[in-house]
Chains A and B, each alone.
Chain A
């Protein structure tokens, strides 16, 4: 859970630039998620209490939009596109490589908390397919060699890295 003080401070900042409390919701959920990679029930409840946005509405929004993670993700959250252009360019084989290299299945987190893998819909990068998004960064024109090198690099990176 994120410190309440931090959430409150950011809420006040965003709210002062917004039309009404509800309009802050998407940005606030992005903010909360950025810290830990996912949003907890407690964070959402706290946001509801300070903004006076009914909890039902906060929950409706955080479950509607697919970018909000409601359970723990890895420090490196790998999202691989499964739509047509990426599929034709070899995304399914890349997904298998990731699963093998990290010994996890789609939707899982590695035991050390470093990686998680999820399939996503079109990322709008079809001309440079296949594309993989790790946290907020696009990795385009991926192939087996580039993917393995990237995973190796991320593994070797300081394991204490935070998001």
Chain B
């Protein structure tokens, strides 16, 4: 079952031939509240990482207010995640169509796509798609004589992982440093330029046209239990076939790994799996073989579905080095506004580097875990937690490798 990458449509003619832009016609025949109900029924959850129910998010927008905004979060920067980039490359109009429906549902006349600065090519693809959609009257004033007007602007970021956090993203659109805002007020009440704002991920919005055409019930029937629908997984690491896959939620990892990814490359052995982007706790190979890829199963295994950015780690990769690389990333990307994150990420990076260089002490392991514990839940945004969770899980599950380094004899690093 594929929804997002079922038919590839680079341009608007192909997209229309494939049944595109029928969903907006149906949507305009519905009341905005009915659309929100339909999305609630579908059980669609935010695909950017947090998994917040999409219909519920839309319902927080006050119906009577003016100056409302819809923002698409395309700041895809979590290490291991490259699914939105693929979606924009292969099916850009599905995103635009989803945005038009979402904007109509919440009553927003202005939309923004915030795309990370490095995706210059993808920004051009979106600009072209917007131009095409305007020419066909799917965007602009009085769309298809519905009385509803909506315009979309593409805004490029400039290299800051933190701008994927939704309020940092709003700050960035406003031309400021991307530092997350204190909440409440939540963006649904005070968002972009002070107006009520919904911020949704690319994949989430691109799913909406299918839900409107086929109904929320049909969507909720796909998947497993409370994890409805399909999900994009971007897979990297030494598997035979890395890339972006759309699979039904609830697919066993083992099946996915063996049948779709083709298993490990020749000469590689599976050691660990990061299932949902670099910020989620790691699974050992043995644990991974037991999970199904959905919100509940991964949660009960102590990790998260996150963004679906799956990194496959082979036996040859030292876990101390892997964790240090991630710590260096989070330290580099900390916006600096909260002390536990600004200092904590740096301390952890420093401790790991020391251990990696064979200068670590036994108490460093507990110190790193204690710092991580003291970072969690103590900051404005979850960037601190995004490092704290891996730190604890890597040290607990691969303690032996850390001890090798303390004793100065890591077999994997003696290259």
List 23 interface pairs A-B (beta carbons < 8 Å), by A numbering: A19-B174, A22-B174, A22-B175, A25-B176, A26-B155, A61-B176, A61-B177, A68-B159, A83-B278, A88-B237, A88-B317, A89-B238, A122-B278, A123-B118, A124-B81, A124-B85, A124-B116, A124-B118, A124-B119, A125-B82, A126-B81, A126-B236, A137-B121
Whether the Cβ atoms of B79 and A122 lie closer than 8 Å is yes
Pair B157/A127 contact, Cβ less than 8 Å: no
Q: Of all chain A residues, which has the CB nearest B332? A: A121
Q: Which of B172, B311, B332, B335 contacts A26 (CB 8 A)?
A: B172
B264 interface residue, CB < 8 Å from A?
no
**Contact among B82, B155, B176, B178 for A126, CB-based, below 8 A:** B82
A89 CA / B314 CA spacing, docked (Å)? 11
Query: Could you say which residues of chain A place their CB within 8 Å of the CB of B85?
Result: 124-125
Residue B148, interface by CB 8 Å: no
Tell whether A129 pairs with B118 under 8 Å between CB atoms, given A25-B175, A65-B160, A67-B158.
no
Q: A67-B117, A127-B243, A129-B236 are in contact. Are A30 and B313 (CB under 8 A)?
A: no
Q: How many A-B residue pairs have CB under 8 A?
A: 127
In the complex, A24 Cα to B159 Cα: how many Å? Answer: 16
Q: In whole angstroms, how far apart are the Cα atoms of A107 and B67 in the complex?
A: 45
CB-based contact B244/A127 at 8 Å: yes
Q: Evaluate contact between B159 and A85: CB separation under 8 angstroms.
A: no
Given contacts A26-B155, A126-B309, 5 further A-B pairs with CB under 8 A are A22-B174, A64-B178, A65-B178, A127-B234, A129-B236
In the complex, whether A160 has a CB less than 8 A from a CB of chain B is no
Given A85-B79, A88-B313: A138 touches B121 (CB 8 Å cut-off):
yes
**Shortest Cβ distance from residue A90 to the other chain B in the assembled complex, whole angstroms:** 10
Beta-carbon contact of A19 and B235 below 8 Å:
no
Please indicate the chain B residues that have their CB under 8 angstroms from the CB of A156 in the complex. none
- Taken residue by residue from 49 to 82, chain A's Cβ proximity to chain B (1 for < 8 Å, 0 otherwise) reads as 0000100010011001111100000000000001
Q: Given A20, A26, A87, A127, which contacts B158 in the complex, CB threshold below 8 Å?
A: A26
Residues on B lying within 8 angstroms of A by beta carbon are 76-82, 85, 116-121, 153, 155-161, 172-178, 193, 234-238, 242-244, 278, 309, 311, 313-314, 317, 322, 325-326, 328-329, 332-333, 335
A83 engages B325 (CB within 8 Å): yes
Residues in B neighbouring A129, C-beta threshold 8 A: 236, 242
Contact A65–B82 (Cβ < 8 Å): no
Task: State whether B174 touches A23 (Cβ < 8 A).
Answer: yes
Task: Give A66 to B238 CA distance when docked, in angstroms.
Answer: 29
Q: Are B158 and A65 in contact (CB under 8 A)?
A: yes
How distant is B106 from chain A, measured CB to nearest CB, in Å? 19
A residues near B (Cβ < 8 Å) are 17, 19-20, 22-27, 29-30, 53, 57, 60-61, 64-68, 82-85, 87-89, 120-129, 133, 136-138
In Å, the complex CA distance between A121 and B236 comes to: 16
Expressed in whole angstroms, the Cα–Cα distance for A82 and B81 within the complex equals 15
List, in ascending order, chain A residues with CB within 8 A of B317's CB. Answer: 88
Q: Is the CB of A84 within 8 A of B118?
A: no
Query: B306 → chain A, closest Cβ, in Å?
Result: 14
Write the nearest CB–CB distance from B237 to chain A, whole angstroms. 6
A65 touches B157 (CB 8 A): yes
Per the bound structure, the CA–CA distance linking A137 and B120 in Å amounts to 8
In the complex, chain B residues whose CB is within 8 Å of the CB of A60:
176-177
